[in-house]
Amino acid sequence: MPILSMFYGVLVYMYAYDNRKHHRPHVHVEFAEYAAVLAIDDGEVLEGELPRAKMKLVQAWLEIHRDELAADWTLSIQGLPPQKIDPLK
């Protein structure tokens, strides 16, 4: 599970070949005991949950890095390692 970014206790990562279950480009996010899967294109929660404040941070980060995430998704579904993405500052 390659970690794409870490900020404010949040881990964002992407699995290789992970396009079967959700059928949309997405990232996996963890914070403490919470876990969620968010769509890259619009930040929709596909599975799980995060505390409200952390969810807003992650969705803002998704908005800022949407193009980089789309490029990483293309790499990941081909089994190639994604590139690291700058954290939210």
The CA distance from 79 to 23, in Å, is 16
Please state whether beta strands 45-49 and 26-31 pair in parallel, antiparallel, or not at all (unpaired). unpaired
pLDDT at residue 17, rounded to an integer:
84
> C-alpha angle with apex 85: 82 to 73, nearest 5 degrees?
35
**Domain ranges within the chain, ordered by starting residue:** 3-77
Secondary structure element (H or E) that encloses residue 28, with its range: strand 26-31
Residue 20 pLDDT more than 80?
no
Q: For the residues of 12-26, what is the DSSP string, one character each?
A: EE--TT--SSS-S-E
| Spatial CB neighbours of 33, under 8 Å, sequence gap ≥ 6 | none
Mean pLDDT of the chain, nearest integer? 94
Reported confidence tier of residue 22, pLDDT bands at 50, 70, 90: confident
